[in-house]
């Protein structure tokens, strides 16, 4: 296989990246529902929190089982409710927990049944929310503040919508004030998949956090791993593997970044079958023993990587983490961190595969290469075809 690369090829890759900027937005599958808001105000060592909490997240207080809490129920279970909220709402400053000083719980008012808000509500109305205002303090003024939130509804908000299950999210606005004026503010989005967020953290912490996201996504995405195995198994060469992984990373990094910033929105109903089709294509080329010059193979992998980048963005969006990058104070560095995590995960997959190759070669010499390569290709083709049919039907 020819492995010589020339400047013209890299210019072609760059043009492909530029072309992604012109992708037209497609339908966006809505799986995420914002079910609450929180504001956190920092002033020196003091912090004040105002937050709406679903009644379904609390236990033992809804005596009449009507799904709401009235003042009588709150009064009767005041101590227990406060303890549940304080245990589920943890504020840390530079690694030290804030001590709660005071907390007031109030039932939210339901909208007028004939109002526009009630008629268009896609989630439980305000009557199913409890308004909480709490004051806490540290012994020092923290630089980095972390909010750990565990008060998610214990019952589903909706059984299943047309686009799939609903993911509950909480939008948090954190501000730092000095002499009554706001000097810094950040916004974040919490979900059951991402229930802990840092605010006012340095840029390197954002890069590290999103790198962790990327690493988890690649190792937790079975279809991406099957694609990588099918791709790498078709030819064992360190230089080939490095070139293919680089092209794949550049491609999925481009579309993931565009999607994360909201410039490209593609429905998961289109992306997921396309990812399965990419597995089928790569596996079929391998099993048919089609020899492809490396530069054309890289262009093919780059094109497929564009699709996988949209898949990463779609997965984050469905988990309620899709807005994390857009809301980040360092969106570009957050995208860089995510892609570094993806690349690290790909390297782990490649190293594990290469370790298996070395073991098999020690047992069967190089004669065993063809056996496991063909087996990997056949299994990848079968799995990819199953996913393609499943996702289309």
pLDDT along the chain (393 residues), means of 10: 42 40 32 71 93 88 85 90 93 93 82 44 56 93 92 60 60 88 87 85 88 84 86 81 88 83 77 88 82 76 87 69 69 86 90 86 72 84 90 83
Say if residue 323 is in the same domain as residue 227.
yes
- Same domain assignment for residues 342 and 301: yes
Residue 344 counted as domain residue: yes
What is the rounded CA–CA span in Å between residue 123 and residue 108? 15
Residue 136 located in a structural domain = yes
Based on the fold, state whether residues 122 and 237 are members of the same structural domain: no
Beta-carbon neighbour count of residue 276 at 10 Å? 23
Q: What is the pLDDT of residue 45?
A: 93
CA 95 vs. chain centroid, Å, equals 24
* Residue 54 CB burial class (10 angstroms; 0-12, 13-18, ≥19): buried
Coil, helix or strand for 166? coil
Q: Are residues 339 and 377 in the same domain?
A: yes
Q: Is residue 98 part of a domain?
A: yes
- Number of folded domains in the chain? 2
> E-strand spans in the chain?
32-43, 46-54, 89-93, 96-97, 99-107, 129-137, 145-149, 167-178, 181-190, 196-199
Q: Is there a domain that residue 1 lies in?
A: no
Q: Is residue 3 part of a domain?
A: no
* Other residues' Cβ atoms within 10 Å of the Cβ of residue 319: 19
Examine the domain organization and report whether 226 and 291 are in the same domain. yes
Distance in angstroms (rounded) separating the CA atoms of residues 33 and 163:
12
Give the pLDDT score at 168: 78
119 and 46 belong to one structural domain: yes
Task: Tell me, rounded to whole angstroms, the distance of Cα 86 from its chain centroid.
Answer: 27
Residue-level pLDDT at 136: 94
pTM for the model: 0.67
**pLDDT of amino acid 9:** 39
| Per-residue pLDDT, 373 | 80
* Pair (230, 160) in one structural domain: no
Cα–Cα distance for residue pair 391/393, rounded to 1 Å = 6
Closest CA to 17 of 369, 305, 390: 305
At 258, list the tokens.
């565009």
Residue at 25 is within a domain: no
Last residue of a domain, one of 137, 166, 201: 201
The tokens 């589903």 sit on which residue? 156
Q: Mapping DSSP to helix (H, G, I), strand (E, B) and coil, where does residue 121 land?
A: coil
Question: What pLDDT score was predicted for residue 255?
Answer: 86
Residue 354: CB partners within 8 Å, gap ≥ 6? 236, 238, 241
Say if CB 118 and CB 112 are below 8 A apart: yes
Domain assignment present for residue 372? The answer is: yes
Q: What is the dihedral of CA 328, 341, 253, 184, to 10 degrees?
A: 10
Q: Are residues 177 and 243 in the same domain?
A: no
Q: Which two tokens stand for residue 346?
A: 């790909």
Reading the block at residue 112, the tokens are 């007028």
Helices (H), 123-267: 203-220, 222-233, 238-260
Nearest-angstrom CA–CA distance, 78 and 101: 15
Last residue of a domain, one of 184, 201, 218: 201
CA torsion through residues 107, 108, 111, 117, sign: negative
Q: Is residue 4 part of a domain?
A: no
Query: Domain range holding 214?
Result: 209-392
Q: Do 168 and 273 share a domain, yes or no?
A: no
> Does one domain contain both 245 and 192?
no
Last residue of a domain, one of 160, 179, 201: 201
Q: In this structure, are 166 and 223 located in the same domain?
A: no
Question: How many CB atoms are closer than 10 A to CB 207?
Answer: 19
For residues 317 and 346, membership in a common domain is answered with: yes
Cβ 169 vs Cβ 35: under 8 Å: yes
């Amino acid at each position: 296989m020819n492995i010589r690369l020339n400047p013209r090829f890299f210019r072609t890759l760059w043009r492909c990246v530029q072309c992604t900027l012109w992708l037209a937005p497609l339908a966006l599958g809505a799986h995420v529902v914002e079910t609450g808001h929180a504001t956190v105000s920092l002033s020196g060592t003091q912090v004040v929190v105002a937050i709406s909490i679903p009644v379904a997240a609390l236990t033992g207080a809804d005596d009449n089982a009507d799904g709401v809490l009235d003042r009588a129920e709150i009064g009767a279970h005041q101590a227990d409710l406060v303890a549940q909220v304080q245990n589920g709402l943890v504020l840390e400053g530079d690694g030290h927990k804030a001590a709660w000083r005071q907390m007031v719980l109030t039932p939210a008012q339901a909208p007028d049944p004939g109002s526009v808000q009630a008629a268009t509500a896609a989630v439980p109305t305000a009557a199913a929310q409890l308004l909480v205002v709490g004051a806490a303090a540290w012994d020092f003024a923290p630089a980095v503040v972390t909010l750990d939130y565990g008060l998610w509804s214990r019952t589903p908000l909706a059984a299943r919508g047309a686009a799939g299950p609903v993911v509950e999210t909480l939008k948090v606005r954190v501000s730092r004030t000095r002499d009554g004026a706001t000097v810094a503010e950040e916004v974040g989005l919490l979900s059951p998949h991402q229930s802990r967020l840092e605010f006012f953290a340095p840029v390197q912490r954002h890069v590290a956090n999103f790198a962790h996201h990327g690493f988890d996504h690649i190792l937790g995405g079975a279809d991406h791993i099957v694609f990588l195995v099918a791709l790498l198994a078709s030819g064992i060469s360190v230089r080939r593997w490095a070139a293919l992984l680089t092209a794949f990373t550049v491609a999925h990094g481009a579309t993931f970044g565009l999607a994360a910033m909201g410039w490209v929105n593609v429905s998961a109903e289109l992306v997921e079958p396309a990812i399965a089709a990419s597995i089928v294509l790569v596996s079929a080329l391998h099993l048919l023993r089609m020899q492809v010059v490396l530069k054309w193979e890289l262009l093919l992998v780059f094109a497929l990587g564009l699709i996988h980048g949209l898949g990463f963005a779609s997965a984050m969006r469905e988990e309620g983490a899709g807005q994390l990058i857009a809301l980040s104070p360092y969106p570009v560095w957050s995208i860089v961190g995510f892609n570094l995590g993806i690349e690290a995960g790909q390297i782990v997959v490649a190293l594990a595969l290469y370790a298996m190759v070395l073991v098999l070669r020690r047992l069967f010499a190089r004669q065993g290469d063809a056996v496991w390569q063909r087996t990997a290709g056949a299994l990848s083709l079968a799995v990819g075809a199953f996913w393609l049919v499943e996702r289309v039907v």
